[in-house]
Homo-oligomer: A and B are copies of this chain.
Amino acid sequence: MAPQNIAVMLDRADACCAERGAKLTALRRDVLELILEAGQPVGAYTLLDLLKLRRAGAAPPTVYRALDFLVEQGLVHKVERLNAFVACLTSEAHEHCAHGHTHPAQFLICRQCNSVTELEDHLVLHAVEKAAARVGFKPTRATIEVEGVCATCSGN
């Protein structure tokens, strides 16, 4: 992502937090910036190494606390299958930021190029909700991660 776009995203994130009474502190902003710069899922310790270049004293809790905050605000998602974190780029997360903080999302993980694409497909969500309702289950959050081969890698 181009630096100017990252700056835009950071400012959006800032406004979004403010609207909710949360604070995107300098540290949290740094961590979010590093994730945006990565442009792909990045592990907590990779992030820590990057963060140390700016903040010598950084330790695991430094990163994990910032990540907890960012995930809670819906600015970052954790990809469970990769134990990695990725910035949320969907417009909803930033524009309609009044809705419940963590918005639902699906990930497509290409096992050839390791790229990850975020989707926000309401039909999928609907199907999941219906399946849950069928057994009386009340969902609050869904982790949907699909492994496979992306369009580019499969030559389409």
Contacts and interface: CB of A to CB of B under 8 A. Distances in A.
Interface of A: 80-81, 106, 108, 110-111, 117, 119, 121, 123-124, 126-128, 130-132, 134-151, 154, 156
Given A137-B148, A141-B147, 19 more contacts: A80-B145, A106-B128, A106-B131, A108-B135, A108-B139, A110-B137, A119-B131, A119-B135, A121-B134, A124-B131, A126-B127, A128-B144, A128-B146, A137-B146, A137-B149, A139-B148, A141-B146, A143-B143, A143-B146
How many copies are assembled? 2
A134 to B, nearest CB: 8
Nearest 4 A/B pairs, CB to CB: A136-B151, A127-B127, A139-B148, A121-B131
21 contacts: A80-B80, A108-B137, A108-B139, A117-B135, A117-B137, A119-B131, A121-B131, A121-B134, A123-B130, A128-B144, A132-B146, A135-B151, A136-B151, A137-B150, A138-B149, A138-B154, A139-B148, A140-B149, A141-B146, A143-B143, A144-B144
A122 B32 CA distance: 37
Nearest to A150: B137
